[in-house]
Amino acid sequence: MTRKIDIFDTTLRDGEQSPGCSMNTQEKVIVARELVRMGVDVIEAGFPVSSPGDFRSVSEIGTVVGDAAIVCAFSRALERDIESAAEALKTASRPRILTGIGVSPMHMRDKLRLSEDEVIERAAAAVAHARRLVDDVEFYAEDAGRSDPQFLLRVVQAAVDAGATVVDIPDTTGFCLPDEYGALVRLVADNVRGIEGVTISVHAHNDLGLATALALAGVRNGATQVECTINGLGERAGNTALEEIVMAIRLHGEELDAHTDIVTPELTRASRLVSRITGMDVQANKAIVGANAFAHSSGIHQDGVLKARSTYEIIEPAEVGASGPDIILSARSGHAALRHRLQELGYSFDDASFEEVYERFLEIADQKREVYDEDLESIVQERQRDITAIYTLNALQIQCGDPLVPTAVATITSESGERSVVSAIGTGPVDAAYKAINKVVGIESDLQEFAVKAITRGIDAIGEVTVRIAAQDGRIYNGRGADNDIVVSSAKAYVNAINRMIQATRSRA
C-alpha cells in the first residue's frame, strides 16, 4: 500500500493573498464546502488576527466543516496571533494552529533582525504556546528553501521538541531546483530526532514555474503533506496547484509511493467556482482544468485521438470532471430536471429560492437552444452576488449610437432599501453606466482592467465581464457580472467590485 499524502488547501489564506482575490465570509464558506466535497484533508481557513472578517471566516468555516476535515488558522510566532487563532478555531471539531518564523539569512537579518538563537527561541516558544491551546500544531520554517541547511535542522528540531505535530519546509520564493529542494526535505526526514512521529509538509511557490515539480520532489523524499491552492492561486506567481499535484500523484503513485484521497471529478468544478468568486480567470492552456486541457486542433493529434484517446491524452476528461452533463436543459425542461442537475452540481435550495433560480433559468433558456452547466453556475453566482450586495442594480437603460450622446439611466437599491434612479452621459455606453452608478455609491475608484468573454457556448452565449478597480488606498478589487447584454454585464461587474470594496473596508474596521 502506498503512503497517504494529505492535501492541505490554502486557497482561503495564501490563495486569497493574490491581489484582487479577497473573499468575504459567505464566499469562503462556499469554497470550503466544495473543498469538503473534494475530500481535502486540511483547510487553511484564514489569518484570524489580521482582521475581524478573517476571524469570522475561520469561525464560520469551523462550524460548517465539522469533522470532515482539519480546519487550520494561520499565525505568526506571536502570542496574540496564536491566541486569536485558537479563539477563532473554537468552533472546529479538528482545529490546527499554523505558526512559524523566517529562517533564511535574508529574513532573519533584513525582516526580523534577530539572531539565529533568537529565532530558535521564538520558534520553540510559539509552538509550545500553541500546543497549550490545541493538540495539533504545525510549524512553518519560512523561506526554508534559501536557509542554511544545518540551521534549518536546529530550528525544526526545536519545533519538534516543543510539540509540533507537523513541520512545514516551504520554498517561500520558489527559488530552489527540484532536486535541491528534495534533498532539503530528505535532510530533515533523516536527521531530526522524533521526526518519525511528525508529518513533514511541503509548500512551494511558482516564481520559476516549478511549484508542482518542487512539491513532487518533496513527496519523493519523505513529505506526507502537500500545501496547495485551487488554480495555483497565491502570492506573486502563485502556489503549487492542487489539481496538478493530485493528478501527478494519481498517475505516478507507484513511483512516488504515494496516493491521495481527493475526489478528482470535482477538480474542474472547484476550479471554475474559485475562478468565478475571485475574478481570476484560468488560462486556457492551464494543466488539468484549462479550457484547452482536452482540446485538439492539430490534424495529427485529431487523427490520433479519434483512433485512440490515449495517443494524446494521459487523463480521461471524466477523471477531473471535464465531461458534459447527461441531462440536456432547455426551455422545455421542467422543475424536476433543473433541480436534479443543480443537485448534481452540489447546489440545494429551499422552494422559494429555487423558484427565483428557475425564473432566471427560463429567461436564459428562452434565448438559448441549450442551457449548459456554465449557465447554471453563472445563475447561482449571480444570485449569490445579489444576496450579499450592498448595492443592487435593478434596471439599466442605455441610449447610444451615431449621432446620439451615450446616456445611461440606472435604477439602484441600497442595502437599506433606498431606491435611486439616476442618469449620466459618457464617452460610450459603459462609461455612461459607470458614471450613473458612481452618482449613487459616492465612491471614487480607478478602473484598472476591463475584460469580456462568452462563458457559455453558441452565438446566444451569456457574456461575462470582469473588472478590476483600484480604491484610493491602492487596494485592488475584482468584480464580475453576467448577462446576455454586455452593457448590463459591465454594470453588474462594476457594482460587484464596488460591493467588494465596501465589504473589505468594513471588515478592516
Q: What is the pLDDT of residues 405-456, one digit of tens each?
A: 999 999 999 988 899 999 999 999 999 999 999 999 988 788 888 988 876 6
**The predicted structure's pLDDT at residue 324:** 41
Q: Is the CB of residue 437 less than 8 Å from the CB of residue 410?
A: yes
Residues in the chain: 509
For residue 286, being part of any structural domain is answered with no
CA within 13 Å, CB half, 155: 31
For the chain, the domain total comes to 4
Q: Are residues 399 and 486 in the same domain?
A: yes
Does residue 53 fall inside a structural domain? yes
Are 68 and 33 in contact by the 8 Å Cβ rule? The answer is: no
Please indicate, yes or no, whether residues 422 and 353 belong to a single structural domain of this protein.
no
How much helix, strand and coil, in percent to the nearest 5, is found in the chain?
45, 20, 30
Taking Cα atoms as reference points, which of 173, 175, 174, 195 lies closest to residue 185?
195
Omega prior to 19 cis, within 30 of 0: no
Residue 26 and residue 161 in one domain: yes
The answer to whether residue 284 sits within a structural domain is: no
**Residue 144 vs residues 80, 201, 209, 424: alpha-carbon distances, Å:** 24, 12, 18, 55
Do 91 and 229 lie in a common domain? yes
pLDDT digits (tens, 9 = 90+) for 49-75: 999 999 999 999 999 999 999 999 999
- How remote is the C-alpha of 96 from its chain's centroid? 20
- Clarify whether residues 433 and 354 are in a common domain: no
The answer on 31 and 16 residing in a single domain is yes
Same domain, 270 and 404: no
**285 in a structural domain:** no
Structural domain includes residue 222: yes
Distance CA 74, CA 418 (A): 40
pLDDT score recorded for residue 482: 82
pLDDT category, 151, cuts 50, 70, 90? very high
* pLDDT tens digits for range 315-367: 888 899 986 434 557 777 778 778 877 876 777 788 888 888 888 888 877 77
Same domain, 77 and 59: yes
Higher pLDDT, 10 or 1: 10
Residue pLDDT, tens place only, 273-282: 999 899 888 9
Q: Examine residue 465 and state whether it is found in any structural domain, yes or no.
A: yes
Which residues are paired to 453 by β-bridges?
464
Give mean pLDDT, residues 27-42. Answer: 96
Give percent of the chain with pLDDT exceeding 70: 92
* One domain for residues 213 and 92: yes
pLDDT in tens, 252-311: 999 999 999 999 999 999 999 999 899 888 988 899 998 778 765 454 554 565 567 788
**416 lies in the same domain as 304:** no
Q: Given this model, what pLDDT does residue 303 score?
A: 56
351 and 402 assigned to the same domain:
no
Domain of residue 319 covers: 293-323
